[in-house]
Amino acid sequence: MSRRLLLAGTTAAPFAGWVRLAGAATPKDTAVFAKQIDDIISLDPHESYELSGGEICANVYDRVLRYEAEDHSKLTGGVAESWTVSPDGKTLAFKIRPNLKFHSGAPVTAEDVEFSLQRVVLIAKTPAFLLTQLGWTKATVKDLVKASGDTVTAKITEDFAPSLVLNLMSSIVASVVEKKVALAHETNGDMGNGWLKTNSAASGAFRLVAWKANESVSLEANPEFRLGAPSLKRVVVRHVPEPASQRLLLEKADADFARDLTPDQIKPLAGNPDIKVESFKAANTFYMGLNLGYEPLANPKVRQAMKMLVDYDGMVKSFLAGRFFVQQSFLPIGFFGAIAYAPFTLDVAKAKALLAEAGYADGFPVKMAAPNVSPWTEISQSVQQTMGQAGIKVSIEPMELKAVIGQYRARNHQIAMLSWGPDYFDPHTNADSFVHNDDNSDNPKIKPIAWRNKWLIPDITKEMLAAARELDTEKRAEEYAALQKKVTDDGPYIFMFQNNIQVARRATATGYNPGITGDQSFFRTIRKS
């Protein structure tokens, strides 16, 4: 504890001083990001549920298991060096690595892992559902998650595939918090949550030095990280809301990376030898939700027709070039079980024939709620134009993203245009949202995306849950492949695109990969020359 405070006292001032300097080239031992980070609400890894917060926590905290930077597709040990699963898939045992240390210098123990997994359930913040779905409750979690010696045993009371549970152990909620430090800052039984919003008790590649809301996050390298010290000593993430300002900082060498540049900001950089632009596949799904409570949309032939009235290829070849590619599935490419699936293309003649068969030869009017920012504005206008060719008169209702979400959650939309990002690296995270609705009443226990669109599918829900419980990995993948085709073909969704993350960087800064999900982003591999 005392070493931790001493470090904070000696490093925070240089960080803060540098961040305030204007026109100061970035130090050679420091990576500086220009990025929108005003979504950070908390840096407690058992509470953080926003993209920017997840990225910071991914670099500050180690987890039970990990998908490491060297191979994003391979599940490996984090603080656990090995694990076993019982034949029935209900008991998992994690052996904790010896000689690991927290930033405070204290050893990482099985007791810390036990405390951390229990803490997620006990403080019951937004991401707690990721672990409570395993059957863990405030009343039972201390009996179901227990440490003994160097091993933590976790018992699952629900029927889930072990691969799903293991993937949950690689998610941000499986971050390991130092028990002694968290409890030393406990207030009113919060298990240190208030303090950990702006501080850390971690063992990851970087230590949190400071977070200044809407200004910056400063990190310092952990020289004793289990995979070796990061190449750079420091990382500073500056909140720069405007893409034009991010580009200016990058061009002046006041930032090493710019994360939110728009195509019109990226295009002029093509001829600059000092700047490189890289694209990385992300896991966000861009789609339209069709509310079956609106009579025309309840007709399967109408939905088929509408899926043929979107110019998917035209958009990705023009104003979405480089940032999106066609993927018509609820699972993004890069996820276990995902299939590259795009059965629909723009076909106005065939769509008109289907509409006539459905009794809508002259089309019909429909309202579409869409975020009032790029690229949603351009996408919605393109959809309006192509659907109009078959007589479907789309009235665009542009609004703030939170307003679209509010309307969608209340089932007050006709069409809602949105994106969806996974909560953890397993197909169940998306399947449970898009393919789960066995109660279409106004106030069910859960309200997933299928419910929002009034798609009552008890039989398909059973198929989805069976896939989540399937112990045979190959068979599980086959079940998800079949589900994707069924949902894309018949469901109340027009799946359009998956996105790429475009990162602009100084040519001297290399090695950064934002990962397919935000909490797979790693700073430790960044190098500067």
CATH code at 282-500: 3.10.105.10
Look-up: residue for tokens 């996974």?
422
The answer, yes or no, to whether residue 102 has pLDDT greater than 90, is yes
Confidence (pLDDT) at 12: 39
Spatial contact of 237 and 36, defined as CB atoms under 8 Å apart:
no
Q: What is the mean pLDDT of residues 271-292?
A: 95
Spatial contact of 331 and 378, defined as CB atoms under 8 Å apart:
no
The domain locations on the chain are 2-258+507-528, 282-500
Confidence (pLDDT) at 357: 98
C-alpha gyration radius of the chain: 24
Confidence (pLDDT) at 79: 99
Confidence (pLDDT) at 342: 97
Average pLDDT over all residues of the chain: 93
18-32, 56-70, 212-226, 308-322: lowest mean pLDDT where?
A: 18-32
- DSSP codes joined into one string, 378-409: HHHHHHHHHHHTTT-EEEEEEE-HHHHHHHHH
Confidence (pLDDT) at 322: 85
300-307 and 348-357 are packed helices; what angle lies between their axes, rounded to 10 degrees? 170
Confidence (pLDDT) at 24: 58
Confidence (pLDDT) at 270: 87
The answer, yes or no, to whether residue 452 has pLDDT greater than 60, is yes
Q: Where are the beta strands (DSSP E) in 176-274?
A: 206-212, 216-221, 234-239, 257-258
* 368 confidence band (pLDDT: 50, 70, 90): very high
| Separation between Cα atoms, residue 325 and residue 333, nearest integer Å | 10
Confidence (pLDDT) at 5: 30
Provide the percentage of residues in the chain whose pLDDT is more than 90: 80
Confidence (pLDDT) at 519: 82
Confidence (pLDDT) at 48: 93
Looking at domain 2-258+507-528, its CATH architecture is 3-Layer(aba) Sandwich (3.40)
Confidence (pLDDT) at 14: 38
Confidence (pLDDT) at 4: 28
More confident residue, 12 or 221: 221
Confidence (pLDDT) at 385: 99
SS3 51: helix
Q: pLDDT (tens digit, 9 = 90+) per residue, 386-404? A: 999 999 999 999 998 889 9
More confident residue, 248 or 24: 248
SS3 129: helix
Alpha helix (H) residue ranges in 410-454: 428-434, 449-452
Of the chain, the end-to-end C-alpha distance in Å amounts to 35
